[in-house]
Structure 1
Amino acid sequence: MNSISMQRDIIVDWQAQHERLFGLHAIKLRHRLAESELFSRQAIGRLIERCPQSHLGLESVSFDGDTPRRIYGELGNSTGLQAIEAIEKGRIWMNIRRIMDWAPEYNELLNEIFAEFEARMSGFKTFKRNIGVLVSSPNAKVPYHADIQGQSLWQISGVKRVFIYPRSDVFMPPQNIEKILLRETNEDVPYRGWFDEFATVFDLHPGEMLTWPLYAPHKVENHDCLNISVTMEHWTQSTWNAYAVHYGNGVLRRTLGLRNTSTQDHGLHVYPKAAAAALWKKLGRQIEGDVVKSRDFRLAPESANGLAALS
């Protein structure tokens, strides 16, 4: 089958209490995406080949020097299936971004999924939805970070261990959220080893998905196997309000030196902070992010670690 029939639910174990928990607590649910041919290894290979270059992210880690650093790569001449073979050998992450923009069958699926969520949760309305696919190596790790919109992670093959940390100022101070929103840093934020004592840990198997609260920090560790996962993002009015408030707080902190500003995502204070955020962007003060200025490697399925350095 090319897509999942609406005759059967995509989420297979939804319970009434999940409506009250969604967006406020980490929830693990079972899903049927792994049954769809849209996510077979062959289909993912074709997706890699169709993906516009600007939407295909490849990362690894270089251990040259004293401190490990992120390095960025390109597909090179590899086919989609060869790319997966290379990733299976190394310590590589591939992010196939914004699939709904250029693959209509995945956009249709994305709409089906959120129609299902909205039918199950009164007043739950979403916009700016996004779907992507992650292909990552055995034992690959994603460091401690936070995201700026509603997130869910859907496992297709392989197993991931996901650490979800409390959504509090101890683990994610407002100043760190502001830095992410203003693109003064990437999504990675300061981490201490003792944080793990307070994490909720999930092993995510094929056919399982996980969602967690907005701005809740998390990290991910693959088991010793290739992982293929689907990521989904969405915005709601409350998500946008939280973004505007934190962004506006960051602007006011940098321009007027204000401290201890409210982070509540409702109330009259949302509107002036949203205006401050809009003005900051209009004036071009936001630091441009997500632009890779150089490529360090290409995928090389014939090599022992799946990559070759670019000269």
Structure 2
Amino acid sequence: MNAPRAIDFDSAHALPVFDDAARLQFSEFYPETPHVLKHGLASHPLLELGSLASLAERIPESSIEYNRGDLPVGIDGKPGSTGLSIGETIRAIHRANSWAVLKNIEQDERYRSLLLSLLDEIRPQIEAKTGAMLRPQGFIFISSPNAVTPYHFDPEHNILLQITGSKIMTQFPAGDPQFAPDEVHETYHSGGARELSWNDELMQGACECPIGPGEAVFVPVMAPHFVKVGPESSISLSITWRSDWSFAEADARAFNRILRKAGFRPARPGRWPAGNHPKAYAYRALRKVGLVG
């Protein structure tokens, strides 16, 4: 199976959210280096609590995740709930002791237009390095004061825009087995969980990125990270995309799992600009003939 085709971005938008300086900075550091950017989306009607509660109440339950906010950086398994509904949680987020994420907001036409307009602003910088922008997705995080998103990684290129409140995004080097072992990568790309094991010694390799309203942080593909919210409730918008590189890295990891189960000790995929195509093509060939899921 081939990676998805590029999306045609023709959506119109008003004033730029990322100015010339932000786009230049992003171009310099994309796709491998975490950095903080300025943005002009500090307020938007679709990102107010009432609008977000309404969105949460009309999208599928499978697109919603929410739980207690008073969590440690490292957890085993999924955290517990607060007993509130998602609408109640969002409307009372300042006192709900919760963390919530609305996934794939692009399934709602108004939020899809917002997402695509933002990605369209930085598409030239993205495609100059990693090729066609693929599979655009958006996620909105609504968090109570001092809430924690535990240590994990994600398969997308990601820019997290802070709308209200503040956060500290703590990132670690992507692809380094000290922070996420190769076996964990391989299991994840074969259907496993994204949560990672934590120990305090890992902080020696941390890159802390504090952000407030009007600021955003870039997160490279599969860079381990955790997030701590500041003393006020927080709303953040995550705009994400995939690339041929990210799909090849994922398929190379999945092929390595097959090799490891067969008794080999495969070399981990290279980070960008390494292509990882031989293993990716091998895994895709096995998937095409039905030998892997």
Using the size of structure 2 for normalisation, the TM-score is 0.82
Counterpart in 2 of 1:273? 283
1:260 to 1:266, Cα distance in 2 relative to 1, 3 A: closer
Contact 2:34 2:218 in 1 (8 A): yes
Residue type at the aligned position of 1:106 = Y
Counterpart in 1 of 2:113? 108
Counterpart in 2 of 1:39? 47
| Aligned-pair CA distance for 1:277 | 5.2
Counterpart in 1 of 2:15? 8
Cα deviation digits, residues 43-71 of structure 1 (max 9, x gap): 223222322222222222799xxx99611
Contact 1:92 1:137 in 2 (8 A): yes
In 2, Cα distance between the equivalents of 1:190 and 1:53?
28
Selected match of 1:120 from 125, 137, 146: 125
Contact 1:154 1:230 in 2 (8 A): yes
1:223 to 1:117, Cα distance in 2 relative to 1, 3 A: same
Indicate the percent of aligned positions where both proteins have the same amino acid. Answer: 22
**Equivalent runs, 1:148-163 vs 2, <5 Å:** 148-163=155-170
In 1, Cα distance between the equivalents of 2:134 and 2:232?
34
**Equivalent runs, 1:108-257 vs 2, <5 Å:** 108-121=113-126, 122=128, 124-167=131-174, 168-184=176-192, 186-254=193-261, 256-257=262-263
| Aligned-pair CA distance for 1:120 | 3.4
Selected match of 2:60 from 47, 52, 64: 52
Q: Secondary structure at the match of 1:35?
A: coil
Counterpart in 2 of 1:301? none
| Gap runs ≥5 in structure 2 | 1-10
Contact 1:131 1:232 in 2 (8 A): yes
| Gap runs ≥5 in structure 1 | 286-311
Moved over 6 A (4+): none
| Aligned-pair CA distance for 1:118 | 1.3
In 1, Cα distance between the equivalents of 2:92 and 2:212?
22
Counterpart in 2 of 1:89? 95
Query: Over the residues paired in the alignment, what is the CA RMSD in angstroms?
Result: 2.6
Contact 2:26 2:37 in 1 (8 A): no
Cα deviation digits, residues 142-171 of structure 1 (max 9, x gap): 111111222221111111111011222221
In 2, Cα distance between the equivalents of 1:129 and 1:52?
19
Counterpart in 2 of 1:261? 267
Contact 1:130 1:233 in 2 (8 A): yes
Q: Secondary structure at the match of 2:135?
A: strand
Q: Secondary structure at the match of 2:191?
A: coil
Counterpart in 2 of 1:293? none
Contact 1:62 1:68 in 2 (8 A): no
In 2, Cα distance between the equivalents of 1:266 and 1:68?
31
Q: Secondary structure at the match of 2:24?
A: coil
In 2, Cα distance between the equivalents of 1:85 and 1:42?
7
In 1, Cα distance between the equivalents of 2:137 and 2:237?
10
Counterpart in 2 of 1:300? none
| Aligned-pair CA distance for 1:19 | 1.5
Count of aligned pairs between the two proteins = 271
- Greater Cα offset, 207-216 or 12-21: 12-21
Are 1:18 and 2:23 matched, yes or no? no
Residue type at the aligned position of 1:48 = A
**Equivalent runs, 1:291-302 vs 2, <5 Å:** none
Q: Secondary structure at the match of 2:231?
A: coil
